[in-house]
Amino acid sequence: MKPDLHGSRIILRSIQTNDCNDLFEIYSDTQTMEFASDPVFTSKDMIVQMLESVVRLEKSGESLEWAIMEKATNKVIGTCGLHSFRTYLNRCCLSKSTPIENTVNEFDTIPNL
């Protein structure tokens, strides 16, 4: 099980089904999704599919995903995750999606984990 991570302004925590509205606001935003590997989400059904995928990939050990929650508002303002684990290289990839800062970086390599 992955931990919740607490910072001064945000908490990284497991994505929950009740995050659907906040997640749809993020993933349906064309500016946020411009540089993401996924298309712009056009329905909340796509969020449900994403949540099912997150659960499946975490159970299989293929990825870890967190919701980025702003402490002041308890609003999910983005997501981040670790993917593409390469244990023989001691590497994985980081993806994040945060419309608040208008940045999306997909697959930044994190060496020596």
Task: Provide the mean pLDDT of the chain.
Answer: 82
What are the pLDDT digits (tens) for 93-106? 666 665 544 333 43
Query: What one-letter code names the amino acid at 83?
Result: H
What are the pLDDT digits (tens) for 37-60? 889 999 999 999 999 999 999 998
Q: What is the CATH number of domain 5-111?
A: 3.40.630.30
- Tokens at 18, concatenated: 């009740």
| Residue 43 per-residue DSSP state | S
pTM of the model: 0.77
- Tokens at 57, concatenated: 């990939």
Query: What one-letter code names the amino acid at 102?
Result: N
* Phi, psi of 73, rounded to the nearest 5 degrees: -120, -10
List the domain boundaries for the chain: 5-111
What are the pLDDT digits (tens) for 61-97? 888 999 999 999 999 999 988 877 766 666 666 666 6
Which string of DSSP letters, residue by residue, matches 31-60? HHHTTSSSPPP-SHHHHHHHHHHHHHHHHT
